Amino acid sequence: MPGSSGNGSVTRSTLRQQIADALRDEVLAGRLQPGQEFTVKEIAEQYGVSATPVREALVDLSAQGLLDADQHRGFHVHEYSAADYRGIIEARSLIIDGMFHALETGADRLPPPDDARADASLAGVRRRGEEAQRASLAGDLTVLIGYDLRFWHELGVMFGNPYLADFLHRLRVQSWVCAVQHLRRLKDLRGALWSGHTDLVDALARRDTKAAQAIVAGYNDHALALIEGLADR
């Protein structure tokens, strides 16, 4: 029956996304290490599901650059180099520059800074930023990654182009996957991680594009120096 077929498709699609999200979190948490291999059968048994949604989830993660497919063998976690990290930072900088350009030309969705709605529209993003800052200062990498990804995605959506927001989100996931391969080696991350989220929100609320660009540039310099320094060890 058409209705039954549709429900089955929705269920499989939802399961596919849940598995993809779970595996992405495993990679970000460092529990799936770079180069670690596994098969569709192993993941299906681990989660107690059929092979089809698992295979689809693994293909999705491969398309996102988090996994590599080994022909006739399975998949393994993609290994990023410090050069990859620099390339990802440069790519996401181009996206953010586009967002700032939208702010300068009025193509964004933010109300004018003297409008009472301006603070309200940024309130949710600020809350994510505050949580990210607390996690950063505490050196809690897992919590930081979760709030940081939400912070940048919600901020990107506000600028009026969902395609840019989704692409930026993908790049930020990739940059975190690359970064955690090095950061997880440090025993104490307190004071080592960027925590300027609310400063960026304040600059954007004022429509101070130059200040926002300086904050993001400082963030990128900090991140590159940290990861490249760890990679050289």
| Domains present along the chain, CATH in parentheses | 2-77 (1.10.10.10), 82-232 (1.20.120.530)
Measured at the CA of 220, the angle between CA 219 and CA 226, to 5 degrees, comes to 90
Q: Are residues 32 and 78 in contact, defined by beta-carbon separation less than 8 angstroms?
A: no
Binned at pLDDT 50, 70 and 90, residue 178 comes out as: very high
Q: Single out the residue of 64, 66, 61 nearest to residue 77, CA to CA.
A: 66
DSSP 37: E
As given in the structure block, the two tokens for residue 19 are 């598995």
The beta-carbon contacts of 31-36 under 8 Å, at least 24 apart in sequence, are 32/77, 33/77, 34/77, 34/78, 34/79, 34/80, 34/181, 35/76, 35/77, 35/79, 36/76, 36/77
Residue that wins the pLDDT comparison between 73 and 228: 228
Binned at pLDDT 50, 70 and 90, residue 36 comes out as: very high
Residue bearing tokens 């063998």: 73
Q: Is the pLDDT of residue 90 over 90?
A: yes
Residue that wins the pLDDT comparison between 44 and 121: 44
Q: How far apart are CA 66 and CA 56, in angstroms?
A: 14
CA distances from 208 to 100, 101, 109, 145, 204 (A): 10, 12, 16, 26, 6
Residue that wins the pLDDT comparison between 189 and 163: 189
Q: Are residues 128 and 136 in contact, defined by beta-carbon separation less than 8 angstroms?
A: no
Q: What is the pLDDT of residue 117?
A: 65
Query: CA 202, 206, 211, 216 torsion: positive or negative?
Result: positive
Q: Are residues 112 and 102 in contact, defined by beta-carbon separation less than 8 angstroms?
A: no
pTM of the full structure? 0.86
As given in the structure block, the two tokens for residue 102 are 């939208």
> Does an H or E element contain 68, and which?
strand 67-70
Q: Are residues 83 and 232 in contact, defined by beta-carbon separation less than 8 angstroms?
A: no
Q: What is the mean pLDDT of the chain?
A: 88
